[in-house]
Structure 1
């Protein structure tokens, strides 16, 4: 509780709005899942069209993120958040009244573009408001909002669908989003010195060895997480005889563990070396993933899902505050541009994960594919960490040479 009482009023207000915005974003993302059978029955789409529907979100987010992040550094966080929320409301209303796959895909694409505006801007707002020593905890809290929205979207959507019709989940979500737009417009204030941000040279920023390490870690974690969605349900059904409800609960356990560990890892990143924490998270993820297919009972599968979710949350949470710290060192204040990089690799993972999972399970049984992925995650994680340490050694040697000269 003292963590929140020590905040200033602008900090508490900003954190509250970031939590609401990220929660809404992921709530809308997963809201569609329980309504897919209805659209499949009424619109009779092909499997390819359904794949396009779900991938269009990530593709749109990947394309739009590099544009919106830098813009928020120039025009301000509040304006960009309002633009993103308006886009989310519009896409949700379009979902409600879509009567063709073309309109549904368009709605999903607009939703991804809107997420590209809200995600990096919301995280940049936290970096604006909080000093480096507090960012780890607040960024972890933001990730918890993301996981909570993901966790609740499907059951809320299913419940509203059952008590009314397929439009009700989207109409309710649109009303909630519009309410948030009004609250942001009336009560969210920006720090007056935020507009002093300088343009960040993206080329040099991406070549920074620390940024390369973070980008690689984010990609490994996101790909690992997203490839499980198309591969595990059928595996659990065949091996453990799970029902669709049980599969949903297993993924809910993973999401819950992700959300619970994220603030803890964020707080630790303010006290310990964040790069070692990210590497520890990747090691844990690689170790725990094979237990998903080695599980012989439902309880063992649930424990394995929780451990994998915690591994991903522990890996990703320190990346957010650390990116902000790199921007602080450069003195640009261009947090929007920095967090757009996080969003880009998040989007790449969302696209590549299911694709990689499908390819691997065509070549190998799931029981072999998951350990292969775990070994690859471990290998690339070690390689990234060795490269990071080598780059630090080179920089220290150069400084010593300059002093001797």
Structure 2
């Protein structure tokens, strides 16, 4: 019975490989897994490394001596030390320890901006930064590779690397192995994101459908960022270090099994069209504008994340739980924004959606320093996440549209550029933002990045009607008109598979 059920499931999956929705689900799970693994380590690794380096330190001393300030987006770790008073004179009986409420009420325990508030934890910072660095280096190689061999093998390779990285995180007990695991994650993330976005662009050739599909896929990214930290902290606290990683490894196996049955990455297929060289795409001013919107839009939250917790401690004397909760509105609104504007951006104009989003990002980050408590941060942080969702859900599809309009419709390289822009925003933002905030203060930092976003916004006007090849424009218009009964005779839309394979289950065979 079990064998018959397995054969039925395998046959069902092989039949469903014609459905684009199942391919979208695979990419969604791949991005969800990548970003959950990226953020699940945030509440685990700092405490684990500290206990590993200083096993003699008791948990009480650990919690009273260090407070970890964790960024959920750029993964930077800051550590603030609080002084403890130790009485040198003998006392007949130990004095009772003050309650947390009394300690919080005491103004001497609240950090001030004049004091040495935070010291960077170099080991943890290097560990977390290795992922973004490796991903940034790998992207320019993955893009052209997908142009040559198709999208199936790179995305499956990303699954294999991600699975290996997850297992290493679960069972590694040394800093060197954890560093290797984090670096491997960067390679796997590059394969999954570049090949996944390129696959969606090749399957969803209609601009409106493509935007909706990419918006759903970006929802997987947002859910991973939102769910990862609480998922990791709860399981680490009550079960142990290996539990969250083993669960993620099981999710990875599920996604890998779907890829084997649906995508069937068994052999390398020669490219049907020679893709535009990466350097040529990088010289395209319209692609650079779209990539710049992705970079500067995300740089706003990238600068906000490592500096806002410190500012909250200085001005609000915020509790540790508030440092993480303050960013929940941004994560939730990003999830909402990507799903809403995945479709709406096509109707209102992607250039207009990105322009409004960039202006809204700038206004929101400028308003952040005006908050006097954590409740005052809800609206501006919500605006930041929602606006970035507008920018990402409009610029990611327009990257594919620009390639269709001005170059060869092979998408690996252009989404490698998009991923590089995304990584640059989160790599440069924290490093630049920290030094600026230290020099001129947090409010001025927010004002500067807000003005940069607002000034960059008018450049999106150039994306309103970018020029293109007349023959390609005619093909795109014809494709949009016959979207409901789409055929793929003009080009091979899904590299690495049979060109006669119909990927749309609603295709009307009697149309021709």
Task: Normalising by structure 1, report the TM-score.
Answer: 0.89
Q: Quick one: structure 1 residues 197 and 163, their matched pair in 2 at CA, closer, same or farther if it must change by over 3 Å?
A: farther
Q: Name the CA shift for 1:391/1:356 in 2 (closer, same or farther; >3 Å).
A: farther
Match of 2:247 among 146, 152, 172: 172
Alignment of 1:1-400 (within 5 A): 10-44=19-53, 47-130=121-204, 131-188=206-263, 195-330=271-406, 332-382=408-458, 384-385=459-460, 388=462
Which residue number in structure 2 is paired with residue 403 of structure 1? none
**Contact 2:49/2:175, CA 8 A, preserved across alignment:** no
The Cα RMSD (Å) is 2.5
Structure with the higher fraction of residues in helix conformation:
1
- SS of equivalent to 2:241: coil
Q: Tell me how far 1:42 sits from its aligned partner.
A: 2.4
Q: Secondary structure at the match of 1:99?
A: coil
Segment drifting more, 40-49 vs 312-321: 40-49
- Greater gyration radius: 2
Report how far residue 43 of structure 1 moved.
Answer: 3.6
Alignment partners' CA distance in 2, 1:213 and 1:264 = 23
Q: Note the alpha carbon deviations across 1:93-114, whole angstroms, 9 max, x for none.
A: 1112222222211111110111
Secondary structure in structure 1 of the residue aligned to 2:43: helix
With normalisation by structure 2, the TM-score equals 0.71
Identify if the C-alpha distance between structure 1 residues 8 and 390 changes in structure 2 by more than 3 Å, giving closer, same or farther.
closer
The size of the alignment, in residue pairs, is 385
Contact 1:209 1:391 (8 Å CA) reproduced: no
Aligned with 1:313: secondary structure?
Answer: helix
Q: Quote the Cα distance in structure 1 between the aligned partners of 2:256 and 2:280.
A: 36
Q: Distance in 2 between matches of 1:132 and 1:392?
A: 15
Unaligned runs of 5+ residues in structure 2 are 1-15, 55-119, 470-512
Quote the Cα distance in structure 2 between the aligned partners of 1:222 and 1:316.
9
Work out whether residues 138 and 263 of structure 1, in 8 Å CA contact, stay in contact via their aligned partners in 2.
no
Once the two structures are TM-superposed, the CA of residue 246 in structure 1 deviates from its matched residue by 2.3
Query: 1-side partners of 2:384 and 2:441: how far apart?
Result: 20
Measure, in 1, the Cα distance between the counterparts of 2:163 and 2:355.
38
Q: Secondary structure at the match of 1:271?
A: helix
Q: How big is each residue's C-alpha offset from its partner over 1:274-324, in whole Å with a ceiling of 9 and x where there is no partner?
A: 122212111111111111111123222111110111111111111111111
Query: 2:432 and 2:270 mapped to 1: Cα distance?
Result: 41
Q: CA deviation at 1:56?
A: 0.7
CA contact (8 A) 1:231 1:361 kept: yes
